[in-house]
Amino acid sequence: MARVEQHPVQAIVLMLISAFFMSTMDVFIKILVEHYSTFQVVFFRSALSLPLFAGWIVMTGRQQFRTAYPMGHLLRGLLGLAMLFAVGECFRELQLADAYALFFAAPLLIT
C-alpha cells in the first residue's frame, strides 16, 4: 500500500480558510434573501460558481468527471439544489446563530 504524506498544519489552515469563506457566503446569502427571492439567490450563486467549476474541468481534464452512475449523480445534484433552497429559506426565517446551531446539531438529530 502506498504511503500517504500527512500535513496536519496545512490541513488545519485550509479548514479554517474554508470555514471562513463558507461563513462569509452564508452572511451574504442571509442579507440577499431578505431583499430577493431565494430562487434568484440560488441561481446567481450557482451561476457565479459555474466559471470556477468549468475552469477546474479544463485544468484537470474531463476524464476525472465521468461517472458510472449518472442517475445517482443527477439525483445528488437535485438534492444539493433542494438543500440550497432550504438553506436560503432557513436564513430568511432564522437568525444565523440559530441556523448554525441546527446545522451542527443535525447529525445528532438524524442518527
What pLDDT shows up at residue 110?
87
**Residues in the chain where the model's pLDDT stays below 70:** 1-2
Decide if 75 is inside a domain: yes
Task: Determine which helix (DSSP H) or strand (DSSP E) holds 94, and give its type and residue range.
Answer: none
Residue 3 has a pLDDT of 78
Residue 1 within any structural domain of the chain = no
Domain range holding 52? Answer: 8-110
Task: Report how far residue 49's alpha carbon sits from residue 58's, in angstroms, rounded to the nearest whole number.
Answer: 14
pTM of the predicted model over 0.75? yes
Asked if the structure places residue 2 within a domain, the reply is no
Q: Is residue 97 part of a domain?
A: yes
Whether residue 16 is contained in a domain is answered as yes
Assign residue 40 a region (left: φ > 0; alpha: ψ between -120 and 50; beta: otherwise): alpha
What is the pLDDT, as a whole number, of residue 98?
95
Tell me what pLDDT residue 60 has. Answer: 87
Q: How many domains does the chain have?
A: 1
What local confidence, expressed as pLDDT, does residue 1 receive?
Answer: 62
How many CA atoms within 13 Å lie on the side-chain side of 110? 6
